């Protein structure tokens, strides 16, 4: 091994060998060779799913020792943007940072005055969800205006949007696609177009979901083509979630659809200038757009005169925004590039795991309400349950003509009123049996200590536009199980057995 290339190749060969021995439990569920012992082996609600490919990529990038965001990051950004069909994707260090950067970009003084979000402007969001969907609104001085959640989908009750709107004050809608279930994109987009509002899609839990709408409706909203890799059926336009609004976000934290450890992305859907503003906020607030380690890509580094600086001041040290440093590392991007290759298989596994849980718990509908994809009116059980692994069940749909195809982040179910147990008792029992479960993040965020205190300290810092009965019901009755690709058939069978025994025991008493 006389050359660095030969030595690196041997290190990477040994890395793959080591990983294949040490990380068997992290392989996709269908490949997981570790024996599952019911009651002893934990069934996580989510987790890292990877092979020796990701470990090799991380080690290889570390050996190159670029470290800061560089060639792997640049490649990942291009590959993610191409997959989704957006103008640009920018890597950041988390999904929460992605939300902060995306929202901050819409506060830039470089935007037209009527589009710029300034302190005191209002942004419509939904009450039950994850706090960092809402936090950037407050952190930038704007006012979140809360509407309620629909119980069946977990998403916003779109019929309440007009009640939340105030002409001249409302500037945007910012909300997440809950647990991999797209919100009603058609209704929200039409509302935003009518009132000239930004739409910020928090797509952190929904990478790979698609939303379809009839061609005439899509054309009226300005959409002419499908996303890359999604064939047209001649009647509908179908796009990935995160590509319908103006700007969107992703999270690559381990429970999500793909992982870089920590990490996230901001997607610039169709307005290229937003990339410059988002990049500035990500990169210290600087005006220069040169990538790390590169100089003078504008060929005018010493030719600018901005602010009250002297003419010719080094453009690499001119700041147009009060920004942050929210970049990830290049080895993380190397991991992400390998994960992207596995994303189609991950998505299919999530769909099938959701279906297995839905079919396996259908006989407990006396005690549980189950989620539905947006625009679905009912779940239709497969005629032959034995075919479930190869043929997904179907849904009945509403009259809008819109459809959703969910890349599920989790399987949410709600304990019905009158059941002989509460969702807390149910969750505690699952935990005792080593079955991972989570409530719907923060529940009704207005009930959280931070918002209770905020109401005391700054009562006008947020506004509640409608009653929040749905958000309260989700907080009091809902939890979700995992659908991630690391689940094996044995794990799902164990979950179903534990739940049935729990219900039977409670019913008997």
Tell me if 379 sits within 8 A of 370, measured CB to CB: yes
User: Does residue 404 contact residue 478 with C-beta atoms inside 8 Å?
Assistant: no
Instruction: Establish how many alpha carbons lie within 13 A of residue 134's alpha carbon, considering only the half-sphere containing its beta carbon.
Output: 25
Per DSSP bridges, beta strands 478-482 and 410-415 are antiparallel
Residue matched to tokens 């692994």:
389
Query: Quick check: 194 and 154 in contact, CB under 8 A?
Result: no
| DSSP-derived 3-state class of residue 116 | coil
Asked about 256 being catalytic, the answer comes back as yes
Give the integer Cα–Cα distance in Å for 87 and 166.
31
437 three-state secondary structure = strand
Q: What is the DSSP string of 378-431?
A: EEE--SSGGGTTTS--EEEE-TT--EEE---SEEEEEEPTT-SS-HHHHHHHHH
Handedness of CA 77, 79, 83, 87 (dihedral sign): positive
CA distance 451 to 455: 6
Neighbours of 388 (CB within 10 A): 17
Which residue stretches of 421-508 are H helix?
423-432, 449-457, 469-477, 489-508
Q: How far is CA 136 from CA 147, 202, 406, 430, 443, in A?
A: 17, 12, 26, 34, 18
Cβ atoms of 264 and 333 closer than 8 Å: no
**Are 58 and 328 spatial neighbours (Cβ–Cβ below 8 Å)?**
no
Residue of 105, 404, 123, 76 whose CA lies nearest to 268: 105
Unique residue bearing structure tokens 């439990």: 25
Quote the DSSP letter at residue 290: P
Structural tokens at position 93: 């260090």
The single residue of 256, 321, 375, 429 carrying the catalytic annotation is 256
Which residues are the active-site residues? 256
């Amino acid at each position: 091994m006389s050359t660095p290339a030969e030595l690196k190749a041997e290190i990477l060969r040994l890395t793959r060998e080591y990983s294949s021995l040490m990380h068997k439990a992290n392989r996709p569920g269908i490949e997981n060779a570790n024996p599952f012992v019911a009651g002893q082996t934990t069934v996580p609600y989510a987790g890292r799913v990877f092979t020796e490919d990701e470990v090799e990529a991380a080690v290889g990038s570390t050996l190159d020792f670029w470290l800061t965001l560089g060639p792997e990051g640049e490649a990942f950004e291009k590959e993610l943007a191409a997959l989704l069909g957006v103008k640009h994707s920018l890597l950041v260090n988390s999904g929460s940072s992605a939300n902060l950067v995306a929202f901050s970009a819409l506060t830039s003084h470089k935007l037209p005055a009527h589009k710029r979000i300034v302190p005191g402007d209002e942004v419509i969001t939904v009450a039950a969800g994850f706090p960092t969907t809402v936090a950037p609104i407050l952190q930038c001085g704007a006012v979140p205006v809360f509407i309620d959640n629909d119980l069946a989908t977990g998403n916003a009750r779109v019929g309440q949007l007009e009640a939340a709107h105030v002409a001249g004050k409302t500037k945007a809608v910012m909300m997440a696609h809950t647990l991999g279930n797209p919100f009603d994109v058609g209704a929200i987009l039409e509302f935003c177009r009518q009132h000239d509002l930004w739409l910020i899609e928090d797509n952190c839990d929904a990478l790979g979901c698609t939303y379809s709408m009839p061609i005439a409706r899509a054309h009226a909203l300005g959409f002419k083509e499908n996303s890359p890799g999604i064939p047209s059926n001649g009647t509908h336009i179908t796009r990935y979630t995160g590509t319908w609004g103006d700007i969107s976000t992703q999270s690559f934290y381990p429970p999500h659809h793909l992982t870089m450890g920590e990490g996230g992305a901001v997607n610039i859907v169709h307005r290229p200038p937003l990339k410059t503003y988002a990049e500035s906020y990500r990169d210290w607030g600087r005006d220069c757009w040169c990538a790390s380690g590169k100089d003078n890509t504008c060929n005018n580094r010493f030719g600018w005169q901005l602010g009250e600086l002297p003419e010719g001041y080094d453009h690499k040290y001119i700041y147009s925004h009060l920004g942050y440093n929210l970049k990830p590392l290049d080895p993380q991007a190397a991991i992400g590039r390998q994960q992207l290759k596995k994303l189609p298989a991950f998505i299919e596994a999530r769909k099938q795991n959701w279906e297995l849980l839905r079919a396996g718990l259908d006989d407990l509908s006396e005690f549980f309400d189950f989620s539905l994809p947006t625009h679905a009116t009912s779940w239709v059980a497969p005629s032959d349950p034995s075919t479930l692994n190869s043929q997904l069940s179907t849904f009945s749909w509403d009259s809008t003509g819109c459809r959703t195809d969910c890349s599920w982040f989790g399987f949410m179910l709600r304990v019905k009123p009158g059941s002989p147990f509460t969702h807390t008792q149910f969750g505690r029992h699952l935990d005792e049996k080593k079955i991972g479960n989570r409530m719907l993040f923060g529940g009704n965020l207005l009930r959280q200590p931070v918002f209770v205190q905020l109401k005391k300290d700054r009562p006008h810092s947020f506004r509640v536009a409608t009653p929040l009965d749905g958000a309260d019901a989700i907080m009091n009755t809902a939890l979700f199980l995992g659908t991630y690709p690391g689940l094996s058939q044995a794990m799902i069978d164990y979950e179903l057995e534990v739940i049935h025994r729990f219900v039977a025991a409670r019913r008997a008493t």
